[in-house]
Amino acid sequence: MNGAKEYVKAHGLQSRDATDVIEEFSDEIANMSGVCLDIGCGPAVVTRDLFLPRLPKDATIVGADISKTMIQFAQDEHADEKRLSFINLNIETQNIPQHLVSAYDNAVSFYCLHWCQDVRQVFDNIYQMLRPGGKSLVLFLAHNTGFESYLKLHKDPKYNPYMKDISKYIPYFQRCANPRATLKKIIEESGFEVMHCSYREKTFIFKSQEILKKHVQAVNPFTERMPEHVKKEYEEDLLRDIVSRKFSFIDNNNEGESKDDFQILDRYHVLIAYFKKPTYRIN
């Protein structure tokens, strides 16, 4: 998941969903003045192209990511944008650096927090980093059948040695009975006032298996550990299993019925929350 260039080329789904949320909460974002933290900014394409233009003109963004590779790419790619800066940060850390405590006026996160297992620590940390009255908007994946494919291939002796820490990469809410209620409770127990919390089904059409393959490769945490011959076979097996769990159909706009004419409809669920740190905490 450290391949910044690969991710930029294959993040159509994430970009589309971020666009939808940014549009829905455009009025709220327009009032996010001061310094805004973008948690899990990755290569910061969404940060710069979609989020920054919606902020007040005098607002600035600090992009944060656990991947040093992503941060370096973002710093190089966006060096000309004076309203953007970047830091390396593990949002699950148990010890937020003191200089980051109460350092931000607002915070957002688009398609990052599903990689976090200690969700309660995440929102405790966001609470610490926000100033009183600060607001936060988050969007992240809650459930996708593709993760079931990870679990299936994990059982294969050929791939198991490279996937022993698979539990780190299955979203916390993938196995949650009531994702919305659970998330709302966690956010409230961190001290926030929840102004919106929803669990939504989404769909996205991958125009070909090759496009889906690039999407899967861009976010796969295991392949960089594999020898090339294992990686190739793994990617083929993984794509085959993921496609089997989706809806495939022929593109009637193209002639012929080769496998390249197949499009794949992905149905999945996301969580969206908008919440506020009170001016004074009531214990």
Digit-coded pLDDT (tens) for 231-248: 999 999 999 999 999 998
For residue 20, give every residue at least 6 positions away whose Cβ sits within 8 Å of its Cβ, in sequence order, or none. none
E strands, the chain, are 35-39, 60-65, 84-88, 104-110, 130-144, 193-206, 247-250, 262-276
Q: Say if 283 falls within a structural domain.
A: no
Q: Which pLDDT score is estimated for 4?
A: 60
Q: Do 115 and 138 meet the contact criterion of CB atoms below 8 Å apart?
A: no
* H or E element, residue 118: none
- Based on the number of CB atoms within 10 Å of its own CB, is 256 exposed (0-12), middle (13-18) or buried (19 or more)? exposed
How long a stretch of residues is the chain?
283
Q: Say if 234 falls within a structural domain.
A: yes
The rounded radius of gyration (Å) of the Cα atoms in the chain is: 19
Q: Which pLDDT score is estimated for 256?
A: 46
The string of pLDDT tens digits covering residues 24-64 is: 999 999 999 999 999 999 999 999 999 999 999 999 999 99
Is 147's pLDDT higher than 50? Answer: yes
Average pLDDT across the chain, whole number: 92
Nearest by Cα to 39 from 273, 281, 217, 225 = 273
Is 3's pLDDT higher than 80? Answer: no
Residue 265 lies in domain: 4-277
Is 143's pLDDT higher than 90? Answer: yes
Average pLDDT over residues 205-225: 90
Is 103's pLDDT higher than 90? Answer: yes
**CATH code, domain with 97:** 3.40.50.150
* Cβ-count burial 63-77 (b if 16+ within 10 Å, e if not): bbbbbeebbebbeeb
pLDDT: is 261 or 48 the higher one? Answer: 48
Total domain count for the chain? 1
Is 250's pLDDT higher than 60? Answer: yes
Is 206's pLDDT higher than 60? Answer: yes
Q: Say if 282 falls within a structural domain.
A: no
Q: Which tokens go with 143? A: 């459930």
E strands, 73-207, are 84-88, 104-110, 130-144, 193-206
Average pLDDT over residues 162-185: 95
- Its pTM stands at 0.91
Q: Say if 43 falls within a structural domain.
A: yes
Q: Which pLDDT score is estimated for 257?
A: 46
Q: Which pLDDT score is estimated for 191?
A: 96
Is 10's pLDDT higher than 90? Answer: no
Percent of the chain surpassing pLDDT 70: 92
Q: Say if 135 falls within a structural domain.
A: yes
Q: Say if 117 falls within a structural domain.
A: yes
pLDDT band at 218; cut points 50, 70, 90 = confident
